[in-house]
């Protein structure tokens, strides 16, 4: 996606995610120790999981775009790694809804997702001994979907792994990522936000990840029984591909959906 289309796409993405959230029952306040509370849904199922992952993919890609434009390219790269994870998880869970059944890994992923955070050291240590669903298990859904679509599953898997490997270096602070900030003329690292112009490469990459985020939310919409939203996302991506500025449909992040 060209950078000049990213912001309008992000505004629409936020609106579409809020439309999906509006179809769920209202969450309720659950009391916490100390008088605090958290919002939770009474029926914590795969539909709620899909909406929550869509929320996180929207915030991750929006944050990456903000950082890319603010001259903080490394942390923008870090957030785009999350977009890839959330996108894979959305496809993983959406498959279980569409198929009408869960694999063991999908069931465990759903159960782990809704577990409250540990409130004590003993609870934390108990969970540390558990086996959580791995990225490899999640990726198996992509292989199944690729095979059904007649796509080269091996090439798709290798491409996704290659991109994820590179982005992992931003998450883990690899040597080459740190050296991207070195300025030979000044003989110092450019650590202050905006101390160097936003690299076009990272802005273009965030643009490509914006497309990935939209495609993931479109799949979530189909699984959640909202083909109208999936079709609106598809039309928008088609317009972007043909360089048409008219977008139509959806609501902006700062607007409330009709439903």
Is residue 14 in some structural domain?
A: yes
Residue 191 lies in a domain: yes
Indicate whether 201 belongs to any domain: yes
* Residue 144 forms part of a structural domain: yes
Residue 127 lies in a domain: no
Task: Answer whether residue 70 is part of any domain.
Answer: yes
Structurally, the chain folds into a number of domains equal to 1
Residue 196 lies in a domain: yes
pTM > 0.95: no
Report pLDDT for 94: 97
Closest CA to 50 of 20, 29, 79, 72: 20
For 185-226, what is each residue's pLDDT tens digit?
889 998 888 776 667 888 888 999 999 999 999 999 999 999
Query: What pLDDT tens digit does each residue of the chain (259 aa) get?
Result: 777 789 999 999 999 999 999 999 999 999 988 889 999 999 999 999 999 999 999 999 999 999 999 889 899 999 999 999 999 999 999 999 999 999 999 999 999 999 988 888 888 887 767 788 999 999 999 999 998 889 898 998 899 899 999 999 999 999 999 998 898 988 999 888 877 666 788 888 899 999 999 999 999 999 999 999 999 999 999 998 876 444 444 444 544 444 3
Is residue 256, in this structure, part of any structural domain at all? no
Q: Are 2 and 240 in contact (CB under 8 A)?
A: yes
Q: What residue numbers bound the domain in which 112 lies?
A: 3-116+133-241
Q: Output the CA angle 198-202-206, nearest 5 degrees.
A: 120
């Amino acid at each position: 996606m060209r950078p000049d289309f990213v912001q309008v796409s992000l505004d629409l993405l936020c609106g579409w995610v809020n439309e999906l959230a509006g179809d769920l029952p209202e969450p309720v306040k659950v009391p916490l120790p100390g008088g605090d509370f958290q919002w939770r849904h009474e029926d914590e199922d795969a539909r709620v999981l899909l909406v929550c992952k869509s929320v996180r993919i929207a915030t991750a890609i929006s944050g990456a775009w903000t950082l890319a434009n603010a001259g903080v390219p490394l942390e923008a790269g870090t957030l785009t790694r999350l977009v890839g994870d959330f996108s894979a998880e959305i496809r993983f869970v959406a498959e279980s809804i569409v198929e009408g059944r869960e694999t063991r890994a999908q069931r465990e992923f759903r159960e782990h997702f809704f577990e409250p955070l540990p409130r004590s050291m003993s609870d934390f240590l108990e969970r540390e001994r558990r086996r959580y669903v791995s990225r490899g298990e999640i990726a198996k859904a992509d292989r199944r979907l690729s095979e059904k679509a007649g796509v080269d599953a091996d090439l798709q898997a290798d491409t996704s792994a290659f991109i994820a490997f590179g982005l992992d270096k931003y998450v883990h602070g690899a040597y080459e990522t740190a050296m991207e900030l070195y300025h030979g003329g000044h003989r110092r690292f450019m650590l202050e936000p905006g101390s160097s112009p936003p690299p076009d490469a990272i802005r273009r990459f965030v643009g490509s990840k914006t497309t990935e985020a939209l495609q993931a939310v479109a799949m979530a919409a189909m699984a959640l029984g909202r083909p109208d939203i999936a079709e609106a996302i598809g039309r928008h991506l088609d317009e972007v591909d043909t360089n048409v500025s008219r977008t139509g449909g959806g609501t902006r992040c700062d607007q409330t959906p009709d439903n």
